[in-house]
């Protein structure tokens, strides 16, 4: 089973031996890969829509893996039994929707050993949700595929924090930035991606900075003052992150 770089990164982040709930399984390729590569001994391929789930069934049947990959029509983890899965994979949707799925199934989710999440938008919202619900980010990756950037988050409930003090961040004057702003940057760009100076995040930030500069050049007049202030704050945050990563 050949996966895209993004999906392979997500699947390879699952700890070998864990039974997996693949929520929003779509075509079932990640579920098949997890079993085929010996990562997961059993996978529950789950989707809210019957159409994608039927395609997943067909792909699983073509491989002859029906005894190891079970498809279930499910809204989030609703159809998952207690203790059936030790890992949750949830990707290919917005961060706010992933947070809603986790929140709806919180009792089951908290019992799992790990969450592998691949949000495609609203990253800061999802990271803040995890933090406020006592999930710790224990691994982060970021890939660039067809010109787009995709973060992948591995989190665990109640895991020991890697650094309670967070990342030391300073502005251009050498002054430490306020805690609230530091947390905002970690939520936006990923605490471990920043700490580990991830090359794909650096590429993303540099491109974002150049794009913002071009937008700022065209923002004039009082009506644009609010948007200009937002972009200037974002630019300051990017400069700080790039300095930390240097």
pLDDT in tens, 24-76: 999 999 999 999 999 999 999 999 999 999 999 999 999 999 999 999 999 99
Would you place residue 94 in the very low, low, confident or very high pLDDT band (cuts 50, 70, 90)?
A: very high
For domain 179-245, give its CATH number from 1.10.287, 1.10.3470, 3.30.1330, 1.10.8.
1.10.287
Extract the tokens encoding 236.
């300051």
pTM of the model: 0.92
Task: Give yes or no for a contact between 120 and 90, defined as CB atoms under 8 angstroms apart.
Answer: no
Nearest alpha carbon to residue 137 among 167, 180, 108: 167
Extract the tokens encoding 117.
């999440």
Task: Give yes or no for a contact between 19 and 87, defined as CB atoms under 8 angstroms apart.
Answer: yes
Is the Cα torsion angle 54, 143, 124, 191 positive or negative in sign? positive
The secondary element (H helix, E strand) that includes residue 69 is strand 69-73
Average pLDDT in the 143-169 region? 81
CATH hierarchy code of domain 5-157: 3.40.50.150
Q: How far apart are CA 63 and CA 51, in angstroms?
A: 19
Would you place residue 223 in the very low, low, confident or very high pLDDT band (cuts 50, 70, 90)?
A: confident
Q: Where are the domains of the chain?
A: 5-157, 179-245
Q: How far apart are CA 79 and CA 41, in angstroms?
A: 19
């Amino acid at each position: 089973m050949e996966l895209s770089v993004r999906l392979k990164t997500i699947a390879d982040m699952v700890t070998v031996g864990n039974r997996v709930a693949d929520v929003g399984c779509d075509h079932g390729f990640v579920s098949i890969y997890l079993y085929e590569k010996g990562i997961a001994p059993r996978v529950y391929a789950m989707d809210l829509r019957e159409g994608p789930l039927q395609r997943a069934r067909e792909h699983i049947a073509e491989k002859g893996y029906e005894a190891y990959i079970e498809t279930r029509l499910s809204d989030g983890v609703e159809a998952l039994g207690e203790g059936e899965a030790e890992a949750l994979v949830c990707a290919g949707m917005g961060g706010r929707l992933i947070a809603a799925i986790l929140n709806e199934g919180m009792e089951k989710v908290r019992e799992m050993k790990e969450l592998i999440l691949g949000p495609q938008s609203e990253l800061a919202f999802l990271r803040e949700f995890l933090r406020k619900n006592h999930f710790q980010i224990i691994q982060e990756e970021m890939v660039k595929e067809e010109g787009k950037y995709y973060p992948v988050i591995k989190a665990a409930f109640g895991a020991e924090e890697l650094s309670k003090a967070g990342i030391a961040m300073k502005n251009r004057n050498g002054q430490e930035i306020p805690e609230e702003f530091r947390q905002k940057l970690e939520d936006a760009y990923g605490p471990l991606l920043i700490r580990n100076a991830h090359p794909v995040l650096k590429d993303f930030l540099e491109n974002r900075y150049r794009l913002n500069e071009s937008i700022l050049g065209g923002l004039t007049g009082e009506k644009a003052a609010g948007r200009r202030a937002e972009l200037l704050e974002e630019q300051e945050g990017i400069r700080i992150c790039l300095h930390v990563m240097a």
